[in-house]
Amino acid sequence: MIRKNETEYQEVKPGDSVNLAFPNSTSRRGRLGKQSVHTLLTGDQQAVVTDQYRIRKLTPRECWRLQGFPDWAFDRASQVNSDSQLYKQAGNSVTVPVILDIARRLKEVERHDL
């Protein structure tokens, strides 16, 4: 992947994520995630590097899993939504484990304030 000055490249390895939005941009930051996925967008622009060094787009199910949703929730949503809508829902959602942790901490603070 090319960096801002068009002379530096970032090496990708299997398991790294690649943001495919605006592939010819030389000014976008955070396009590669080393063994992680950065912010999910509302489309299918997120991909992963396979063991054969090929780039494969993440499926809607994988995006939902990255946001912390259980498979049963995805299965129900996929019965009534297109893949485009499923990507959009994953990109617009807040990561479930993060919300759970915030709620737990708020509960602790509230309990100590009583």
Per the structure, the complete domain to which residue 77 belongs is given by 60-114
* Interatomic CA distance for residues 36 and 48, integer angstroms: 9
The most confident of the ranges 22-26, 34-38, 75-79 is: 75-79
Residue 36 has pLDDT above 60, yes or no: yes
39/82 same-domain check? no
Q: What is the pLDDT of residue 2?
A: 45
Give the count of domains, the chain.
2
Report the pLDDT value the prediction gives residue 89, as an integer from 0 to 100.
Answer: 94
Statement to judge: residues 9 and 36 lie in one domain: yes
- The verdict on 44 and 64 lying in the same domain is no
Please identify, among 43, 58, 73, the residue that sits at the C-terminal boundary of a domain: 58
With bands split at pLDDT 50, 70 and 90, how would you rate the model's confidence at 67?
Answer: very high
pTM for this predicted structure: 0.73
Please tell me whether residues 35 and 67 are part of one structural domain.
no
Least confident of 25-29, 66-70, 94-98, 105-109: 25-29
pLDDT of residue 39: 74
Say if residue 75 is in the same domain as residue 44. Answer: no
2 and 50 assigned to the same domain: yes
The mean pLDDT of the chain is 83
Same domain, 87 and 114: yes
Judgement on whether residues 36 and 71 belong to the same structural domain of the protein: no
